[in-house]
């Protein structure tokens, strides 16, 4: 496993404007398990505020989890000091959402990537330049080697940030909405550049709210709602079943939710078309597996589809507070 995350929890403290105003606890992530095997592309999808970005940032150590375990490539990652993490960092890479601010406005595309190779320290200056050239050409930027970021289109800028990540030959790439703000046609070219050049055996986590992207590229999809994964599925084999996941994949297929997410019980129950009984409003459903690739957290669905006592996948996720 490249990534093995167990029962990840993150609580942010939100302070009021005055020193004496009460501190509010915002539960951004409430018990998430994520696994990424070598060569696997995994998507985290969900609405804004569902905690998908927080999970991805915690996996890279950009955010300290409140509790839970993170194992990267068989090594315990959370709790390490920055000095201990530093030598490993180059293997776990992050693709930022806003490429314009991630690139140096004074450096050309080629200079960016050459510098990356130089920092790695394995090649001489001329070799570094040659490898950088090769990489940029393979990402379709052969015409833009000497362009500054402001002279490039949004899609080209994204591909330069991708090249910088791919140059490090990472084991894990976390891409946080790498296509946001791009036109649909340019999105494909960026994702093709990323997934077509993925180092062998590397894992990738794609954070997105474009379901078509997730469907096209990803082996496994985690559907996030209110800080939890409510359905895990492989779209090649499985069909989304959780009413919230259905809504996300086909927003025009059902009436829109009108009420806010509830804090007790299943977060979606106040808007759910298939509420079973009082259980939905009282207890949080746990994640149960329907098949090897498909797990779901819904009271109504596993009583109808699984008559036998369902096997619990995550013993932590379902405990009621």
Q: Does 251 bind other proteins (CB under 8 A)?
A: yes
CB of 45 to other proteins, least distance (A): 9
32 exposure class (CB count in 10 Å sphere: 0-12, 13-18, 19+): buried
Write down the least CB distance from residue 90 to other proteins, Å.
Answer: 31
Site size toward other proteins (CB under 8 A) is: 19
Q: Binding other proteins by CB under 8 A: which of 29, 247, 266, 287? A: 247
Nearest Cα neighbor of 60 from 194, 172, 135 is 172
Q: In the range 116-145, which residues lie near other proteins by CB under 8 A?
A: none
16 binds other proteins (CB under 8 A): no
Phi, psi of 56 (to 5 degrees): -65, -35
For other proteins, the binding residue among 7, 11, 35, 47 (CB under 8 A) is 47
Residue 226 CB, nearest approach to other proteins (Å): 14
- At closest approach, how far in Å is the CB of 153 from other proteins? 10
38 lies in the binding site for other proteins (CB under 8 A): no
Can residue 260 be called a binding residue for other proteins (CB under 8 A)? no
Nearer to other proteins, 46 or 65 (CB): 46
What b/e sequence results for 55-76 when a residue is b if at least 16 CB atoms lie within 10 Å of its CB, and e otherwise? bbbbbbbebebbebebbbbeee
Residue 248 in the binding site for other proteins (CB under 8 A): yes
Nearer to other proteins, 160 or 207 (CB): 207
The CA–CA distances, whole Å, from 211 to 39, 206, 251, 294 equal: 21, 11, 10, 17
Residue 210 or 234 having the CB closest to other proteins: 210
Long-range contacts of 278-287 (CB under 8 A, 24+ apart): 283/318, 283/320, 284/318, 284/319, 284/320, 285/318, 286/312, 286/313, 286/314, 286/315, 286/317, 286/318, 287/33, 287/229, 287/230, 287/232, 287/312, 287/313, 287/314, 287/317, 287/318
CB of 178 to other proteins, least distance (A): 14
Nearer to other proteins, 248 or 284 (CB): 248
Which residues, numbered 93-112, are part of the site for other proteins (CB under 8 A)? none
CB of 26 to other proteins, least distance (A): 14
Residue 93 in contact with residue 176, Cβ under 8 Å?
A: no
Subset of residues 171 to 230 that bind other proteins, contact rule: CB under 8 A = 180-181, 183-186, 209-211
Residue 252 as a binder of other proteins (CB under 8 A): the answer is yes
* Measured distance CA(167)–CA(105) in Å, rounded: 20
Residues of the shown chain interacting with other proteins in the complex, contacts defined by CB under 8 A: 46-48, 180-181, 183-186, 209-211, 247-249, 251-252, 256-257
């Amino acid at each position: 496993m490249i990534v093995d995350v167990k029962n990840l929890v993150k609580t942010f403290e939100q302070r009021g404007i005055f020193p004496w105003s009460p501190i509010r606890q915002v539960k951004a992530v409430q018990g998430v398990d994520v696994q990424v095997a070598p060569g696997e592309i995994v998507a985290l999808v969900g609405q804004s505020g569902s905690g998908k970005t927080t999970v991805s940032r915690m996996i890279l150590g950009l955010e300290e989890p409140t509790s839970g375990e993170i194992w990267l490539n068989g090594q315990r990652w959370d709790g390490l000091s920055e000095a201990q993490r530093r030598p490993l960092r180059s293997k776990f890479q992050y693709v930022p959402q806003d490429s314009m601010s991630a690139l140096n406005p004074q450096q050309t595309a080629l200079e960016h990537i050459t510098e990356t190779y130089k920092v790695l320290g394995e090649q001489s200056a001329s070799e570094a330049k040659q490898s950088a050239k090769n990489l940029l050409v393979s990402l379709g930027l052969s015409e833009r080697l000497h362009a500054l970021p402001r002279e490039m289109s949004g899609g080209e800028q994204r591909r330069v940030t991708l090249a910088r990540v791919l140059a490090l030959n990472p084991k894990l790439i976390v891409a946080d909405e790498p296509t946001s703000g791009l036109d649909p046609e340019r999105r494909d070219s960026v994702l093709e550049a990323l997934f077509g050049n993925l180092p062998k055996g590397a894992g990738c986590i794609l954070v997105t709210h474009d379901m078509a992207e997730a469907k096209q590229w990803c082996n496994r999809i985690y559907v996030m709602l209110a800080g939890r994964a409510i359905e895990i599925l492989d779209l090649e084999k499985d069909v989304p079943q959780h009413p919230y996941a259905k809504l996300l994949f086909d927003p025009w297929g059902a009436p829109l939710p009108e009420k806010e997410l509830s804090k007790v019980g299943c977060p979606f129950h106040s808007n759910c078309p298939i509420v079973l009984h009082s259980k939905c409003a009282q207890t949080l459903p746990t994640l149960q597996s329907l098949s090897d690739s498909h797990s779901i957290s819904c009271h109504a669905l596993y009583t109808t589809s699984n008559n036998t006592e369902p096997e619990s996948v995550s013993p932590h996720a379902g405990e009621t507070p």
